[in-house]
Amino acid sequence: MRVLFMATPVPSHFTPMVPLAWALRTAGHDVLVAGQPDITGAAVAAGLPAVEIGDLFDAVEALTARLPAGLRPNQAGRAQTSDAAPFTLVMPWIMHARYLMKEYLGFATDWRPDLVVSDPMEFSALLVGGVLGVPVVHHRWDIDPLGGQPLAMARELLGTRFARHGLDGPLPGPALVIDSCPPSLRGQDPEDAAGGRPPTRSVRYVPYNGAGALPSWAPETAAAHRVAVSLGGLTAQLNGVPLFRGVVDALEGLDGVESLVTLPAAHHEELGPVGERTRVVEPVPLNLFLESCAAVVHHGGTGTSLTACAFGLPQLVLPQIGNESLWAARLRDYGLAKELTDPAAQDDPAAVRDAVRDLLEAPSYATAARRLAGEMAALPAPADLVPGLEALTTEFAGR
């Protein structure tokens, strides 16, 4: 079968789907990734064929607009969303769909996919499925606290435009939802707009944090507790280097701790000198070195959170943008993490130092982290979902 992958133009929205795309290709299916240049580069780097549709979106440009000099978005008070604020999270992708749905539909009409796999905020994918009569599978890239609210918003705000493009009736929902967040962390799926629950399949999270070579230092045995510091691909660009500095200072104040800090080379000089127990490296896929670590300090991004969970590691979460604070709360409530959501606390080396010390010294965090890692390992692999997707496609073809 021919499978079209689509995603909103943020690489971290696309990369959770990569292991499923690999599984489908390995099973002999024709896979193609369609999207803006923001994700097609990530697709090609993952060994997947891709087609560019539209121009560069550039999330950094959108986030830095009107950002006060020297302040991170969360310090400016306009970065965090919550499960009670779907408008902030959904509306940018509603507007995004208005301008690209025609191009996506035109391409898909020519390519004729049998199945569409997309992230839940790429509403153009549901239009493609509805017009062409093929199933759409949503692959979540985040904890989903919103239920059917995004779909309801899309129907209300884009319904007339969908009809102009040939959709007969309301925008259909997904035929299936795939979720790589382990059930005990995810909790119960919220009700959808019709009062039911979307059909959902759990899948094992297979860490994919981008392509990269194994660093020479990765196999080294740490002389102390190694703590990874990974604050995401955007934090440094969003006036976040002082945050890195504070975390480095905090960890250098802990005896028996070796810090491994991933930071783009362009920001190394701004970070300044570090001690002999701190190693600052360019970003490298986390799955290549987390096995050697005892804990992770991170921003609460989905890929980083779930990769650290897959390795069974205690975590300190310093949420910055979007709904990273929701990840922080879920990980904290599970018992494997501590969180500092207030920007002032994040910038206090003493607060960071105390939190990491607790993670390393209190055995309950490591115990909870290992328990969640075991749950994740027992979930079906992406390859196990392929027969069900084949059956779903056959079912739709027979309608």
Instruction: List, for residues 296-324, the tens digit of each pLDDT value.
Output: 999 999 999 999 999 999 999 999 988 88
Band (pLDDT 50/70/90 cuts) for residue 54 is very high
Percent of the chain with pLDDT strictly greater than 90: 76
Give the pLDDT mean for 176-191.
83
d(CA 294, CA 297): 10
Give the pLDDT mean for 108-122.
97
Report the 10 Å Cβ neighbour count for 207.
Answer: 20
> Is the pLDDT assigned to residue 189 strictly greater than 70?
no
Q: Which two tokens stand for residue 174?
A: 């997904």
Q: What is the pLDDT of residue 78?
A: 62
Q: What is the pLDDT of residue 193?
A: 46
> Is the pLDDT assigned to residue 329 strictly greater than 50?
yes
- Predicted TM-score of the model (pTM): 0.93
Every domain of the chain and the residues it spans: 2-204+379-397, 225-377
d(CA 379, CA 241): 37
d(CA 278, CA 258): 6
> Is the pLDDT assigned to residue 69 strictly greater than 90?
no
> Is the pLDDT assigned to residue 398 strictly greater than 90?
no
Tell me, what amino acid is at 327?
W
The burial of 66, by beta-carbon neighbours within 10 Å (0-12 exposed, 13-18 middle, 19 or more buried), is given as exposed
Give the pLDDT mean for 166-188.
91
CB 205 within 8 A of CB 180: yes
> Is the pLDDT assigned to residue 60 strictly greater than 90?
no
Q: 4: helix, coil or strand?
A: strand
Band (pLDDT 50/70/90 cuts) for residue 209 is confident
Class of domain 225-377: alpha beta
Q: Which of 32-36, 117-121, 241-245, 323-327 has the lowest mean pLDDT?
A: 323-327
CA-wise closest residue to 73 among 231, 232, 237, 233: 237
d(CA 111, CA 239): 42
Burial 348-368 (b: 16+ CB within 10 A, else e): ebebbbebbbebbeeeebbeb
Q: Which of 60-74, 181-195, 259-273, 313-327 has the lowest mean pLDDT?
A: 181-195
Q: Which two tokens stand for residue 280?
A: 């600052």
d(CA 308, CA 369): 9
> Is the pLDDT assigned to residue 194 strictly greater than 50?
no
Percent of the chain with pLDDT strictly greater than 70: 94
Range 51-54 contact pairs with CB under 8 angstroms and sequence separation of 24 or more? 51/107, 53/100, 53/103, 53/104, 53/107, 54/9, 54/99, 54/100, 54/103
Position with higher pLDDT, 35 vs 81: 35
Give the pLDDT mean for 50-62.
88
d(CA 263, CA 227): 14
Between the two ends of the chain, the Cα-to-Cα distance in Å is 17
d(CA 206, CA 180): 8
Beta strands 278-281 and 295-298: pairing type?
A: unpaired
The top-scoring range by mean pLDDT among 78-82, 152-156, 329-333 is 329-333
Residue 33 dihedral angles phi and psi, to the nearest 5° = -100, 125
d(CA 10, CA 37): 10
- Rg (C-alpha) for the chain, rounded Å, is 21
> Is the pLDDT assigned to residue 80 strictly greater than 60?
no
| The domains spanning 2-204+379-397 and 225-377 adopt the same CATH topology | yes
Tell me, what amino acid is at 117?
V
Give the pLDDT mean for 66-76.
87
d(CA 22, CA 386): 11
> Is the pLDDT assigned to residue 22 strictly greater than 80?
yes
Give the pLDDT mean for 177-191.
83
Give the pLDDT mean for 47-60.
92
Q: What is the pLDDT of residue 222?
A: 73
d(CA 9, CA 15): 11
Task: Give domain 2-204+379-397's CATH superfamily.
Answer: Glycogen Phosphorylase B; (3.40.50.2000)
Give the DSSP letter of residue 236.
G
Q: Which of 66-70, 145-149, 247-251, 294-298 has the lowest mean pLDDT?
A: 145-149
CA-wise closest residue to 372 among 281, 306, 274: 306
